[in-house]
Amino acid sequence: MLTEVAIKQAKAKEKPYRLSDQGGLYLEVSPIGSKYWRYKYRISTGAQRIEKRLALGVYPEISLKNARELHREAHALVSQGGDPSLVKLEQKALAEVASLNTFGGLGEDWFATKSSDWSPTYTISQRRLLDKNLLPLHDLAIDKIAAPELLGVLRVKVGSL
């Protein structure tokens, strides 16, 4: 089993190498000295068993204790017949869709679609409107923007004219 001391003392070598912990969890040390937490597991797909690896994070952002917790969660999912790599991809896709459904995401999409037809002056004014005047709305989900938030931003805009 790994210890914090062993992890801190791990130095870069000519080729990547692994420091094993337990149950498929290991720390991969790259030639430039970066340390990556990985979980190696096998899943059944029909009659075959496929070996896969799941990236858990980078040391020291993810400590040994946190890596073991992430490993425990992923291992439990594998034990139930799931695939943590697919779960991670689904979560990433959902986060991407959620970011597109924010005011800022939709505003950027609108700007990219429409700005090619605009004059340079109008393009600059619309960019300023999105980036400066409507900035407080950027992180809000489009379906969660209520009238008070919108009115607050618009009143500040009108008041500054």
72: Cβ contacts below 8 Å, ≥ 6 apart: none
Same domain, 67 and 134: no
Distance CA(137)–CA(151), nearest Å, equals 11
Sign, CA torsion 72/76/81/82: negative
Residues 75 and 114 in one domain: no
Mean per-residue pLDDT, 5-26: 94
Query: How many folded domains does the chain comprise?
Result: 2
For 28-66, the pLDDT digits (tens) are 999 999 999 999 999 988 788 899 999 999 999 999 999
Average per-residue pLDDT for the chain: 89
Give the residue among 85, 20, 30 at the shortest CA–CA distance from 52. 85
**pTM to 2 decimal places:** 0.65
- CA nearest neighbour of 137 among 124, 121, 119, 156: 156
Residues 13 and 70 in one domain: yes
Query: What's at 23, amino acid-wise?
Result: G
Q: Is residue 92 part of a domain?
A: no
- Domain of 122 in residue numbering reads as 101-159
Q: Mean pLDDT across the stretch 137-144?
A: 84
